Structure 1
Amino acid sequence: MTSASQSNSARSESFARQEREALAGLLLSQGPSAPTLCEGWQTRDMAVHLYLREHRPDAAAGMFLPPVKSHLECVTSTLEKRPYEELVEGFRQGPPKWNPIRLADSFVNLSENFIHHEDVRRGGGERVAPRELPAEMRAELWRVVQQASRVMVRADGVLVVFEAVDANPDSSAASPERHICGAKQGDEVRISGPVGELLLWVFGREDAAEVEISEDKPGAQKRISRRSI
């Protein structure tokens, strides 16, 4: 790994830890019964998910593999009986050393922790303004948007153009950073906004994300969907 790559990875890992700490603190301050942006989930459900994902990968596999789903449900039911504060503090400590996900902290956990932090921040139903994020963190999240959108976004004959107005110090609404995914050609849909808001949109939080969407043909936006993960 080059020194530049090592530096980027270290920054991402640091931001992931910052988001983890902030999310854990918010979960404790909100208590176990607060609403979140995740449909049907209160903060206790969020705490169970976060803990399980990092401490019980055998069960977390059930999120993606149907044969393991019953095991996931069994472990989830058991964790729901544990003290809320214990689950949150377990998440705050990060994945155990034996869990390979620890090695992916600079990418997977940055986006996971950021998104779920916003799920709790904005879960009350009232508009909550986007946070002011450090420039280096915005650059890392922009890389996540570019990579995740290729997997998450499904576009039926639609060219999807993401425009980040704050991806780097030189970007703005007049000259945003751009990323294209979806169909190689077809009707165009532009999704513009701050990087963090674009990430929330990619991961299905469109009702809460502060983005502007324009389409060059009526109905084009309706042909875009996101994968459920």
Structure 2
Amino acid sequence: MTEFTSDSDFVTAAVVAAELFKAREIANNISLTASNARALALRAGQGAAGFRAITDFIDMLADSTVKTSDIINMKAVTISELATNLERLERTIEYYSAAAKSVEDCEYVSSILVPLKKMQDDHSKITRQFYREVDKLSELLESLSREIKTASVLSAMSRVEASQSGKEYEDGLNVVADNVSEAADKIQRHIMVSRSLCFDLADDVY
């Protein structure tokens, strides 16, 4: 375990937040796609009845992704703030440690050692909080990744239902299935980048 965190942790957490913001925007587009698909399925009539049910699941997936992304984003912002606080404490501790060493034989060295000890204790406390938040962030990213994997199932089901809707509507409904699959792949890539960055944050403590 390293004694102090790096100021790069602030940047890493900020990048995670940015990646999840992009994922959230894509999820919003999935929701719009579901709305368009629902309207198309209604025009297709009874032949696309199964597809209309699938659009509800697509909408639920998009909504869940947006909500989870918002939570993850807040976690990433919290981690950035903690990393900033740790960086400031580290620099102050360095200055106080150097000052204490230079006057270690002086009568009033305790005036430096007492606040130094307080800062070191605060640093340890914030560091523990930092890695608790990193663990929670990692769990949320893993959960979101599992949710997004269901999109491939929904896409496959959509193609099956599209084939039964009649030639007039099949191509349009297949476009919906393709859009859901493509959006899910993009979101998954943002999640993968975020999880890799999260591992980097966790490596700082091990």
Length-normalised TM-score, structure 1: 0.28
More helix by share: 2
Higher relative contact order (CA 8 A, sep 6+): 2
**Computing the radius of gyration over CA atoms, which structure comes out larger, 1 or 2?**
2
Length-normalised TM-score, structure 2: 0.31
More strand by share: 1
